[in-house]
A and B are shown apart, each in its own frame.
Chain A
Amino acid sequence: MDLLQTKGIEKQFLGVKALKGVDFSVKAGEIHALMGENGAGKSTLIKIITGVYPASAGSVYFNGKECKFRSPLDAEHAGISTVYQEVNLLPDLSVAENICIGREPRTKLGFIDKKERKVQARKALARLDIDINVGENLSSYSIAIQQLVAIARALDVDCKLLILDEPTSSLDENEVKELFKVMKKLREEGMAIIFITHFLDQVYEVSDRITILRDGQLVGSYDAKDLPRIEMVAKMIGKTPEQINEMQAGIVKNAKFGDTVYEAKGIGRVGTVSPVDVSIRAGEQLGLAGLLGSGRSEVAQIIFGVDPHDSGTMTMCGKPVNFNSPQKAVKAKVALIAEDRKVTGIIPDLTIRENIVLALQASKGIWKTMTLKQQEEMAEKYIKLLRIKTPSGEQLIKHLSGGNQQKVLIARWLATSPKLLILDEPTRGIDVGAKAEIEALTQQLCGEGMAVIFISSELEEVVRDCDRVIVLRDRKKVGEIAGSDISLKNVMKLIAG
């Protein structure tokens, strides 16, 4: 019998149909992967199941009964817990406080029973085989532990269905393994788990069944072992497997480079990165590789002036420059699409149009204002060019899916016609289709003579796309490889040291 079942779920947002009659079911004791491109409707479906939004049509059955949850809390009481991509906990409270928040054990007098709280927290964590000091602040633990604490909190109620929305995107390989162990353990206990991820390997590692959505419609539900990987990707983006092979073969490295665009000698910042040399020519794609925390993003931020360098010199097109604020870098036609889209990228309450024109306008200053018509034309142009899924440029950017937000940010920087484009993890948290589009786009830009610095944790991407790779370890440059020497093995060797 199905634990959760949805029938004909539809959802409409301001004239956009996000879901068009989705039937979906999950059995007890299975890990069920929900797959689809950005904007396919995964998050919307989850939010309808958990009562964040009401459905426009259709019904949700849980445990055989029709349910209309009015809030996530409502769903939680019924036995559906959700852990979101961003850890939704309070970093400055202790682990125990986080686990028991909102349902603190009380003493007879009605005060919070702190001892009992710690006991309960420890019990909840023990279920996931975690043994940490529950009295410590949550922020003193790694993101992975925080994620597990969030799961422990979700399980602490009488939970029958656990929904994990991109739980692995900020975890490293070992941490992912830990998480999977926990997931498998919970499956054996008879819990149903809905798992959303963009990492295809992970899908096959833990999932029993796979449901694919595309453009708000159900493509189908399959047993994981019966669905080859290439076919799954094909179903997600609505192409045949042959077409995908062609797409991947289409990436050709650009061999001709122009003059040096940017050169830095010994730039560093005390406490952030030891001095490194970076130079890049027009049309070249330079990769920065290394583990999380190896200093990749820090180098990008020093180049862009977010964290000004305190040693070394830099030149742009042969002229000495000193980027000690992003504004200077932007005026010199450098662009950075930073790692954390929500914090350093989008301006959520502004429209797509405003988000696109922002950087260009900032480089022009306050007085040289673009007219509304110019702005609209520019937004229109990039919405078409990058195939941003939106009814109009006047939509607020926060209503777009992650991949489309990323495209708006790319549009923002392409509008400034940069000479040097730095992409820090541009493909994180977005789907295969959009990934391929972004990779193809950077190749095309390089072909047009733009210099591109590309940072990614996915080494395959770096190896596939870059003409030269700088490898960092422990906030130091440990090597540089170019041309035919670039291979996964060589990069790994340098990273491992």
Chain B
Amino acid sequence: MNKTSNRFRHLVWPLVSLALLLLFNAFFTDNFFKIEIKKQDSAQTVQAPAVPDNPPAPGTSWITPENYENSSDSAEAAAKTVDQAGQAAQAAAEPQQAPEKNDGKGVSIFGYYLYGTPIDILNQGAKVMVLAIGMTLVIATGGIDISVGAVMAIAGAIAALLISMLDAGSFPGASMGPAIYWIIPVVAALVLATLAGFWNGMLVAGFGIQPMVATLVLMVAGRGVAQLITDGQIITFDNPGLVFLCNGHALFLPFSVWIVVTMYVVAGLLTRKTALGLFIESVGNNERASRYAGIEARRIKWLTYVICGFCAGVAGLLAASNIKCADSNNAGLYLELDAILATVIGGTSMAGGRFFLSGSLVGAILIQTLTTTMYMKNVSPAIVAVPKAMVVIIVCLLQSPVFRAKVLSIFASKAAKGGVQ
């Protein structure tokens, strides 16, 4: 058996599904594949349809891509809908006045970047792609982490709180100047998210609590923690450094894409060029036997939750950067489910064992393409989950050898009957 074909076999069905989806768009969505090279200055005048990450809750009016002119508007729109205390409006007032000035889209190396729906998909899908890395490793050990959405909210909250304090000059680091000090909230957010992962790992690997229950704790409590951090406010910011993460461009592409690329390369090297990948697969497949072979199974499991927490931190920063505010209630809401779906679509079994980071990446892109397609087709966000679920089911069925065999045998028996007649 060919070794290379074995290694990429898991990618076949997700890629086929993605290709079909893109093909659909090629025929039925105008200008789907139109990619333009824009110069930095023109960024504010021409805007391609941007897609909101967290669409307004059902009941509020749906904003079509056409009138969705500026992604920073979406932040404020979202902020306004949740804004009840009135205090948030005060905090939001300043950035509202000057969104143009500090728009991260204006920052670009070389002054040129690519623009179009496919690029937008990559940018918007970055969060789930990053989450899927950690989720894949956790699922490979036979676990699951349903707290990543809440951890994203925590990361966003601490970053937004610190940056607003720094911007206001009420924090020691402020003397470093805005060009540099944005690094402080980034590091703080990542540390806090990693600690959250450490906590999950402790519950699962240290105390032997079932992963679903253990991470449910933080899934529920995490948003509360985020609320505590932000004192129940929605904190908006316009620090160029932080905004750059999800809105800036580098080397022709959105900066978030480069973050994703870097993380996948690092994760790939970490798992395939060291023995970590082998140990994770071994623990996920037979934990007891792995322990008998001298692997510290608990430590390996623990480590995957820590990595997952870190990934959630990065995703949380991207989410906050995208909408330039920390919304503890909605940041990363239900994204844990997308991350799990991406992993499963990518061929990693929920039972643990073999894992495929590249598969998860394709899975995440598939999910985002689907979401974007539906927004572009003006499907109401209230029912968007239905077609999404159908596509997911189809991909999962295609991946199941049992299902494929059944379908084939039906065709075969029909052909045989036809032959007899």
Contacts and interface: CB of A to CB of B under 8 A. Distances in A.
A115 B376 CA distance: 62
A314 interface: no
A421 to B, nearest CB: 14
Interface residues of B, number: 24
Residue from B1, B289, B296, B354 with most neighbouring chain A CB atoms (10 Å):
B289
Contact of B289 (A14, A329, A343, A361): A343
**B contact face: mostly helix, strand, loop, or mixed:** helix
B274 A366 contact: yes
A327 B1 contact: no
Given A361-B278, A366-B274, A366-B275, A344 B288 contact: yes
A359 interface: yes
Nearest to A395: B1
A113 to B, nearest CB: 33
B279 A362 contact: yes
Residue from B6, B273, B275 with most neighbouring chain A CB atoms (10 Å):
B275
Interface in B195-219: none
B292 interface: yes
Nearest to A343: B288
A326 to B, nearest CB: 5
A372 B107 CA distance: 44
Interface residues of A, number: 36
Contact of B282 (A344, A347, A368): A347
A327 B294 contact: yes
B282 A350 contact: yes
B293 A358 contact: yes
Given A361-B278, A369-B275, A14 B294 contact: no
Contact of A348 (B1, B275, B286): B286
A325 interface: yes
Interface in B292-325: 292-296
Contact of A306 (B1, B273, B285, B292): B292
A358 B285 contact: no
B49 interface: no
Contact of A359 (B3, B281, B293): B293
A326 B294 contact: yes
Interface stretch (A88-96, A130-138, A330-338, A486-494): A330-338
A330 B293 contact: yes
B275 A14 contact: no
Interface in A267-312: 304, 306
A346 B289 CA distance: 6
A354 interface: yes
Contacts of B295: 327, 358, 362
Given A354-B278, A366-B276, A369-B273, A338 B286 contact: no
A338 to B, nearest CB: 6
B14 interface: no
B98 to A, nearest CB: 49
B369 to A, nearest CB: 30
Nearest to A365: B275
Contact of B1 (A14, A359, A365, A367): A14
B282 A326 contact: no
A412 B279 CA distance: 15
Contacts of B275: 361-362, 364-370
Given A349-B353, A349-B354, A329 B294 contact: yes
Nearest to A306: B292
Residue from B276, B292, B294 with most neighbouring chain A CB atoms (10 Å):
B294
A338 B292 contact: yes
A369 B276 CA distance: 9
A120 interface: no
Contacts of B64: none
B404 interface: no
A344 B286 CA distance: 8
B279 A366 contact: yes
Given A325-B296, A369-B273, A358 B282 contact: yes
A41 B59 CA distance: 65
B294 A345 contact: no
A394 interface: yes
B291 interface: yes
B358 interface: no
A363 interface: yes
Contacts of B296: 325, 327
Nearest to B281: A350
A348 B351 CA distance: 13
Nearest to B3: A394
B40 interface: no
B290 interface: yes
A325 B292 CA distance: 9
A347 B288 CA distance: 9
A366 B272 CA distance: 11
A106 to B, nearest CB: 29
A330 B294 CA distance: 6
A298 to B, nearest CB: 15
Nearest to A368: B275
A344 B276 contact: no
A115 B285 CA distance: 41
A347 B290 contact: yes
A346 B286 contact: yes
B201 to A, nearest CB: 16
A210 to B, nearest CB: 35
A363 B294 contact: yes
Nearest to B300: A366
Nearest to A331: B294
Contacts of A370: 275
Contact of B285 (A347, A359, A365, A412): A347
B279 to A, nearest CB: 7
Given A354-B282, A358-B282, A366-B279, A326 B292 contact: yes
Contact of B292 (A344, A367, A394): A344
Nearest to A301: B292
Contacts of B273: 369
6 contacts: A338-B292, A343-B286, A343-B288, A347-B281, A358-B295, A359-B294
Which are the 9 A-B pairs with shortest beta-carbon distances?
A330-B294, A362-B294, A362-B295, A359-B293, A344-B292, A358-B293, A349-B353, A327-B294, A349-B285
Given A330-B294, A361-B279, 6 more contacts: A343-B288, A350-B282, A354-B278, A358-B278, A362-B295, A369-B274
